[in-house]
Chain A
Amino acid sequence: MRFLMKRNYNQDIQLFKYRSTFFWYLALIIGCCLLPLVLDDYITSQLSFICMYSIATVGLMLLTGYTGQISMGHAAFFGIGAYTSAILTSKGVPFLLALPTAGLLAGFIGIFIGLPALRLSGLYLAIATMGFGFIVDEVLVRWESLTNGNMGMMVDPVSIGPLTFETEVQFYYLTLVVLVLTILAAKNILRSPTGRAMIAIRDSEVAAQAMGISMAKYKTMAFAISAFFTGVAGSLYGHKLTFINPESFTILVSIEFLAMIIIGGLGSLHGAVYGAAFIIFLPQLIIMTKDYMPKYLADQTGLESALYGLMIMLFILFEPMGIYGIWRKKKFYFEMFPLYKKDTFKKEKKYFKAERH
């Protein structure tokens, strides 16, 4: 186990805790860049999906994992991003401008969702955001002059100046760059006063208010930032699929995002990426294990979503910290090697955490 002697305040919030951490992240990025050389096109395109979903889950993680505000309507921001970018590029706006515009519009709408969130918490917020998701979905269906309704619309492939991103490998690099930028931005937000205010709100709203944190400002800000990232992810998603319709942005997608951050591990940016990767590769995993299943079960179409639901339940019941939690425990085990105590991570059992009393 390594102990760091902290000599000044800034060491607490610096981006990389140890110098070696920086090195390992650099190695990871280089590794990610080299991946398409050894993988086939299909896996590469799955990797692009992981990157895109990770951008969205990093956004949702900032809101749910760090600010403690649940949102069951994030598919709406995803959809707003996708449609904004698709419509703008079809009108001839360059992609480099359409991408941030998609994020900004989603973020702007996020502010309006953040406003009712000031008065709502927990369950009520979950239901209100779910309602918002339904309303946006219906708007996408009905505003036919703009979105072409249920028929869906074609999305132009991405090009930046002379560069085009048409093959799987090219698109993978594009999403990877955006993902790295997103994570860097999120990391930096989290160590800034804004991010620390968000974490304070999550841990105790009353305590945060007592410290002089403006609830209104930071909650709406959290919604806006989160919606911005999700909108950006939506924009990429539209260009990747080259065809979007409102079906791609229903409540099931919002639930999928939530499932990703829970399975990945709430309250860590690593978790956001792990969760996205896990959910994207889950169908592949199921196909691989199908040979070992009874024939009747393996032929069922509902198998995937049944396992998906089961996975969410098992993680919440047995590993609430998700994949990142497993990783932390394993790491801790080796760091402490002969002295590891299982109860280090044991959660305090609270029988009365009432919101009403």
Chain B
Amino acid sequence: MELFNEIIQTLLSGVSIGCIYGLVALGFVLIFKATEVINFAQGEMMVLGAFIALTLINVFGFSYWAALLLATVGLGIFGLILERLVLRSLIGEPVFAIVMLTIGLGYFVRSSVSMVPTWGTDTYGFTTPFTDKAARYGELVLSWEQLAIIFMTIALILILFAFFRYTRMGVAMRATSQNQLAAVYMGISVNRVFSLTWIISAAVGGFAGVLLSPITFVHMNMGFIGLKAFPAAVLGGFSSIPGAIVGGLIIGVTESLAGVYLPIGWKDVAAWIILIGVLIIRPQGLFGIQEKKKV
């Protein structure tokens, strides 16, 4: 029973951190599917989201839910500005240029966050409705902070699913990601789709940042956790939205199991070892479809 509880708790913490990886990976995948751009600054969206929520809660006295909503919306606007100012001119450039541009962007955002008055380089925290609460089932103690991440991720995925499935814009976005040219012929404004993709992706990043805050606390370097979302996205095939979430869960669970049952040090590299293994055996990822390249 003792062992069982331990395993359940490890799995729970793995799944909850996996949800975060999945959400960040979802941000990569959305943008990649639509524009073939890879946003290495996705982790910084988390930082921004978390800091905005922090300010709203601690300085302006907003409730957690209002702050979550506002941070998500705020990041959406930020994504829009970013797309219009910087990234639109880069469509069609080589991968290398885009990777470096978004890395530069990440540096810029991260350092700018440290320059904002009252934000700085310190570590902060804010109280949420779930702080210090736990669900007990006999011997089993499950932290609400972790459960909340899982439930809220599920809710967000359902919303996104409904959006892509049932709204005109969602269908237009799926069409664009399948074939841009055909989408243009069907009267879809591809530029608007690109803008909306960035809005959604940045907003998801901000949402993930607020969710993550109770676990890792708010800090300018919390975005580095976003790097772990790369193995998650690759594992899922980089162009599959369910794949990104499943990839995130696999990475999260493996990591937390490695943290408990393997010697110290394995936890941090487990994700990368899985990644390289997957890339060698199945370069298109678990859910990806091998697509032939035209010359």
**Interface range on chain A (Cβ under 8 Å from partner):** 35 or more
In the complex, the answer to whether A301 meets B121 with C-beta atoms within 8 Å is yes
Question: Is B89 engaged at the interface, CB distance under 8 Å to the other chain?
Answer: yes
Q: Which residues on A sit within 8 Å (CB–CB) of B107?
A: 305-306, 308-309, 312
In the complex, the answer to whether B103 meets A302 with C-beta atoms within 8 Å is no
In the complex, the answer to whether A313 meets B238 with C-beta atoms within 8 Å is no
In the complex, the answer to whether A124 meets B283 with C-beta atoms within 8 Å is yes
Question: Is B157 engaged at the interface, CB distance under 8 Å to the other chain?
Answer: no
Determine the distance from Cα of A297 to Cα of B95 in the docked complex, in whole angstroms. 33
Contact check: which of A127, A134, A262, A351 meets B100 at CB < 8 Å? A262
Tell me the minimal C-beta distance from A267 to chain B in angstroms.
11
Contact mask for chain B residues 139-174; partner A; CB cutoff 8 A; 1 contact, 0 none: 000000000000000000000000000000000000
Would A135 and B115 be within 8 Å (CB), given that A305-B110, A317-B101, A351-B92 are in contact?
Answer: no
Greatest chain A CB density within 10 A among B101, B103, B231, B294 is at B103
The residue of chain A having its C-beta at the shortest distance from the C-beta of B228 within the complex is A134
**Interface range on chain B (Cβ under 8 Å from partner):** 35 or more
Q: For residues 241 through 298 of chain A, which have their beta carbon under 8 Å from a beta carbon of chain B?
A: 251, 255, 258-259, 262, 266, 297
What's the dominant secondary structure at chain B's contact region? helix
In the complex, the answer to whether A313 meets B86 with C-beta atoms within 8 Å is yes
Question: Is B279 engaged at the interface, CB distance under 8 Å to the other chain?
Answer: yes
Determine the distance from Cα of A357 to Cα of B108 in the docked complex, in whole angstroms. 33
Question: Is A120 engaged at the interface, CB distance under 8 Å to the other chain?
Answer: yes
Question: Is A206 engaged at the interface, CB distance under 8 Å to the other chain?
Answer: yes
Q: Which residues on B sit within 8 Å (CB–CB) of A311?
A: 104
In the complex, the answer to whether B265 meets A138 with C-beta atoms within 8 Å is yes
In the complex, the answer to whether A312 meets B115 with C-beta atoms within 8 Å is no
In the complex, the answer to whether B272 meets A134 with C-beta atoms within 8 Å is yes
Determine the distance from Cα of A266 to Cα of B264 in the docked complex, in whole angstroms. 40
Determine the distance from Cα of A262 to Cα of B105 in the docked complex, in whole angstroms. 15
What's the dominant secondary structure at chain A's contact region? helix
Would A123 and B104 be within 8 Å (CB), given that A130-B227, A141-B265 are in contact?
Answer: no
Q: Which residues on B sit within 8 Å (CB–CB) of A131?
A: 230-231, 271-273, 275-276
Determine the distance from Cα of A356 to Cα of B237 in the docked complex, in whole angstroms. 12
Q: Which residues on A sit within 8 Å (CB–CB) of B100?
A: 258-259, 262, 312, 316
Determine the distance from Cα of A99 to Cα of B227 in the docked complex, in whole angstroms. 33
Would A119 and B105 be within 8 Å (CB), given that A306-B112, A313-B86 are in contact?
Answer: no
Contact check: which of B115, B180, B181, B294 meets A300 at CB < 8 Å? B115
Question: Is B59 engaged at the interface, CB distance under 8 Å to the other chain?
Answer: no
Contact mask for chain B residues 166-195; partner A; CB cutoff 8 A; 1 contact, 0 none: 000000000000011100000000000000
Tell me the minimal C-beta distance from A13 to chain B in angstroms.
26
Contact mask for chain A residues 344-357; partner B; CB cutoff 8 A; 1 contact, 0 none: 00000111111111
The residue of chain B having its C-beta at the shortest distance from the C-beta of A127 within the complex is B230
Question: Is B2 engaged at the interface, CB distance under 8 Å to the other chain?
Answer: no
The residue of chain B having its C-beta at the shortest distance from the C-beta of A138 within the complex is B269
Would A352 and B181 be within 8 Å (CB), given that A70-B95, A131-B272, A313-B86 are in contact?
Answer: yes
Determine the distance from Cα of A314 to Cα of B59 in the docked complex, in whole angstroms. 35
The residue of chain B having its C-beta at the shortest distance from the C-beta of A64 within the complex is B96
Question: Is B97 engaged at the interface, CB distance under 8 Å to the other chain?
Answer: yes
Question: Is A320 engaged at the interface, CB distance under 8 Å to the other chain?
Answer: yes
Q: Which residues on B sit within 8 Å (CB–CB) of A70?
A: 95-96, 99
In the complex, the answer to whether A355 meets B95 with C-beta atoms within 8 Å is yes
Q: Which residues on A sit within 8 Å (CB–CB) of B6?
A: none
Contact check: which of A135, A206, A258, A302 meets B111 at CB < 8 Å? A302
Beyond A124-B279, A131-B230, A356-B291, 17 additional contacts (C-beta under 8 Å) are A70-B95, A119-B283, A123-B38, A123-B238, A126-B95, A127-B275, A134-B272, A204-B295, A302-B111, A302-B115, A306-B112, A309-B107, A309-B109, A309-B111, A312-B103, A313-B86, A350-B93
Q: List 5 A-B contacts (CB under 8 A).
A: A126-B96, A131-B276, A313-B104, A353-B92, A353-B93
